[in-house]
Structure 1
């Protein structure tokens, strides 16, 4: 059963130096036409498979930058979502946002149309590092935007932070954490920089012009992050996510629980009725498909039972709760040890996994090498 909906807004007023998501500069783009195409895609998908959309619980607007849209464009987009997506069971309606684009007018539109969670791309409170990242906001704008969001009535607010940045010191990271905690928010996400192909950072790295902290420094930053979050009662429920009880991201938990979700928009991915798919990325190709009355799917793959089981471990071990053994048995009709006994025993002996009666999960040490642990569960 599909329980989540992801909607991709590919427009940005500024392209960040580290971003590899499907995005285009806002200027001179068919933004209004794209919004109408999104509405048509949602209508077409729901009409083709209405049973899959009966119990949608979360909706997430991502990008790109959803708040690159004007207040009027946001209102049109949200109207189309409410028209075509069954909203009866939705408990979390989130949007990503940039601090320097989220005006009081836009905040009021978001609130009026039922959005109840904001995820702000802050990344750092260090002006020098923000410039290196290609971010256009100032630290003061983060504080003011959050003040306005609370004034409008938002209580579920999260910010994204990044560490392992070019030239970043432990002192800069500690200062960013201190300023983030001063905002007294119920949720924080923090990610180490991954230099992806086709980004400005990737080109700089290949030229030897990207002075990244070493592995030891990055590990020290992650250790500090976990320590500071725990000290403030922010529960680490996933490798990179921390929140107070009941403020965990319900939409992202759909991914980590290996549940199904729909993806709408150019370049969006989805997982519906045991099929993973990706939409066409180029705007014209995406919109032409929809105008022809076709779903804009570029690639789809029917997920095999073996792949589902691999993904269950690969994704589920990201959560600090790990893999619930009874849930695994109920979903796949076999014990997790029947499939992965060798890997579980080896990783437990190495101190990277912990197993108790109910679950299997990463140890503290395992969190530092999560990707290496996950790869052990690729069956072939």
Structure 2
């Protein structure tokens, strides 16, 4: 059975100003006991699922900043993965902050079975990095990618952002050019969203957040969606572009209804059509694991309508779109009987392309995806 594993490392050296993820700075004293608890959970739950479903196709370690873990703790986690979940995983990704790795750390990752890296670069301009609270410089990001190559990695992704405070089109163009010159295989580009309870949200309330206008951000969006395919990076999902054969297999599983097991504090799981979330409180997670309790809670018992909505939303994020056959196989009902009117309306508006195989977002649909997604909500 195809399935995946997500491992959450909730530590970071400094909280980025835009970040609302469950990650914490200044918790270094908890790293050792967290590592012990995580390895215990990997042994118990990871082994159980491996015995039931076989070796997973993908593993993704995210955060936080996984590479904020000192190398000795990272080595323990990777050893537990190899011992209890499996070795030679087809795609094993670790998220990295360029400011937290050196050659030895990257060599450790590669030696222990990691075969894909995702660098949170965001920008190669130092001033922009400072404004968003990143701990690395543009040159450190360049050197981190080069060191990863020397360590033997042939599948590297970088994250970039647009719509940042003070950012202009030329900044984004320079970052895209730098990523292309580094010959990375995958590029994720995200528009800045000011989330509640972040430093940027507080700055915005005080009138101190100098963001590009909507028109400027739209120009940046148009640039990336045109330039990246011209550079050989095919858009296969709303925010993701890859050279042929280097699409993120793990992320694709999220969009195509593949189950996954979440391990670690704040980790989410999708199992038997239900979604679970582990406690985000690190101390509570550690205590729960040590006491042998299940640290996960069912997020919500999904209704059939909610399951259909989610299935449609996730599939439509991809270039392939929503398959008639997959929908029928999943829900035992024809796609047109549920969404026929919606598909016709969005097709007429130029946001959706409809054919015998199913439907997918048009170029305009990708740009205004939230408008299209809203139409797939079932009353």
Fold shared, TM-score > 0.5 on shorter chain: yes
Are residue 362 (structure 1) and residue 364 (structure 2) matched? no
Q: 1:238, 1:320 within 8 Å by CA — same for their partners in 2?
A: yes
Change (3 A) 1:300 1:52: farther
Are residue 33 (structure 1) and residue 30 (structure 2) matched? no
What displacement does 1:330 show? 2.0
Which residue pairs with 2:54 in the alignment?
A: 54
Deviates further, 67-76 or 40-49 = 40-49
- Count of matched residue pairs: 379
Q: After superposition, give the CA deviation of every residue in 1:47-88 in whole Å (9 maximum; x if it has no partner).
A: 665665424110000001010112211111101112221447
Q: 2:266, 2:278 within 8 Å by CA — same for their partners in 1?
A: yes
Structure 2 distance, partners of 1:267, 1:53, is: 23
What displacement does 1:335 show? 1.6
Structure 1 distance, partners of 2:294, 2:342, is: 40
Structure 2 distance, partners of 1:34, 1:100, is: 22
Deviates further, 44-53 or 320-329 = 44-53
Q: Return 5+ residue gaps in structure 2 as ranges.
A: none
Which residue pairs with 1:251 in the alignment?
A: 250
TM, length-normalised to structure 2: 0.96
Are residue 161 (structure 1) and residue 171 (structure 2) matched? no
Q: 2:313, 2:373 within 8 Å by CA — same for their partners in 1?
A: yes
Q: After superposition, give the CA deviation of every residue in 1:295-322 in whole Å (9 maximum; x if it has no partner).
A: 1124433333322211111111010111
* SS of alignment partner, residue 29 of structure 1: helix
Change (3 A) 1:279 1:243: same
Q: 2:353, 2:361 within 8 Å by CA — same for their partners in 1?
A: yes
Q: After superposition, give the CA deviation of every residue in 1:163-182 in whole Å (9 maximum; x if it has no partner).
A: 01112111212122222211
Change (3 A) 1:75 1:28: closer
Q: 1:52, 1:272 within 8 Å by CA — same for their partners in 2?
A: no
Q: After superposition, give the CA deviation of every residue in 1:329-376 in whole Å (9 maximum; x if it has no partner).
A: 222222211111111111110000001222311111111111221121
Q: 1:166, 1:213 within 8 Å by CA — same for their partners in 2?
A: yes
Which residue pairs with 1:65 in the alignment?
A: 65
Are residue 266 (structure 1) and residue 250 (structure 2) matched? no
Change (3 A) 1:46 1:73: closer
Which residue pairs with 1:307 in the alignment?
A: 306
Deviates further, 188-197 or 203-212 = 203-212
* SS of alignment partner, residue 3 of structure 2: strand
Which residue pairs with 2:241 in the alignment?
A: 242
Q: 2:350, 2:365 within 8 Å by CA — same for their partners in 1?
A: yes
What displacement does 1:159 show? 0.2
What displacement does 1:131 show? 0.4
Which residue pairs with 2:274 in the alignment?
A: 275
* SS of alignment partner, residue 6 of structure 2: strand
Structure 2 distance, partners of 1:49, 1:130, is: 40
Q: 1:53, 1:85 within 8 Å by CA — same for their partners in 2?
A: no
* SS of alignment partner, residue 242 of structure 1: strand
What displacement does 1:214 show? 2.1
Are residue 320 (structure 1) and residue 319 (structure 2) matched? yes
Structure 2 distance, partners of 1:49, 1:5, is: 10
* SS of alignment partner, residue 99 of structure 2: coil
What displacement does 1:117 show? 0.3
Structure 2 distance, partners of 1:87, 1:311, is: 32
* SS of alignment partner, residue 177 of structure 2: helix
Q: Return 5+ residue gaps in structure 1 as ranges.
A: none
Which residue pairs with 1:44 in the alignment?
A: 44
Structure 2 distance, partners of 1:231, 1:49, is: 42
* SS of alignment partner, residue 94 of structure 1: strand
Deviates further, 331-340 or 90-99 = 331-340
What displacement does 1:128 show? 1.0
Q: 2:119, 2:157 within 8 Å by CA — same for their partners in 1?
A: yes
Structure 1 distance, partners of 2:352, 2:28, is: 51
* SS of alignment partner, residue 302 of structure 1: coil
Are residue 140 (structure 1) and residue 139 (structure 2) matched? yes
Structure 2 distance, partners of 1:168, 1:52, is: 49
1:1-380 matches, cutoff 5 A: 3-46=3-46, 53-87=53-87, 90-380=89-379
Q: 1:26, 1:68 within 8 Å by CA — same for their partners in 2?
A: no
Structure 1 distance, partners of 2:325, 2:163, is: 37
